[in-house]
Amino acid sequence: MSSRFYHIVNSAKPVLVDFYADWCVPCRLMPPVLKEVKDDFKEHIRILKVNVDHYPDIASSCKIQHIPAIVLFQGGKIQWSGTGVQAFDDISIALREIL
């Protein structure tokens, strides 16, 4: 997945990555927010979920120290990130700034 992950986040299309773990209770609050983001931005973005327990190398290379963590990439560069449960409005503002 590592090489595939980096290929995807190097896209010109914004990629929103949700770093999570199955055991993380706050992480379970993010899927409804991300669904709302996906519904609002449709084909303008891509959303990926990365389980930090399954892909620690990706989490480490993205400097993820706390979860949930939401990271917005465009062209391989981090454009915005947030740790903890993120509100739709905060993610939406970040996306609108780069679209």
- Cα–Cα distance for residue pair 5/9, rounded to 1 Å: 6
Closest CA to 77 of 18, 12, 19: 12
Phi/psi class of residue 14: alpha, beta or left (left: φ > 0; alpha: ψ in -120 to 50)? beta
Q: Is the Cβ–Cβ distance between 17 and 94 less than 8 Å? A: no
| Catalytic residue of the set 24, 48, 85, 98 | 24
Residue 80: its pLDDT value, please? Answer: 96
Report the pLDDT averaged over residues 66-79.
96
pLDDT tens digits for range 31-66: 999 999 999 999 999 999 999 999 999 999 999 999
- Cα–Cα distance for residue pair 29/44, rounded to 1 Å: 23
Fold of 2-98: Glutaredoxin (3.40.30)
> Is 1 a residue whose pLDDT tops 90?
no
pLDDT tens digits for range 6-34: 999 999 999 999 999 999 999 999 999 99
Domain spans, the chain: 2-98
| Catalytic residue of the set 9, 15, 16, 27 | 27
- Quick check: is 62 catalytic? no
Give SS3 for 64: coil
pTM for this predicted structure:
0.94
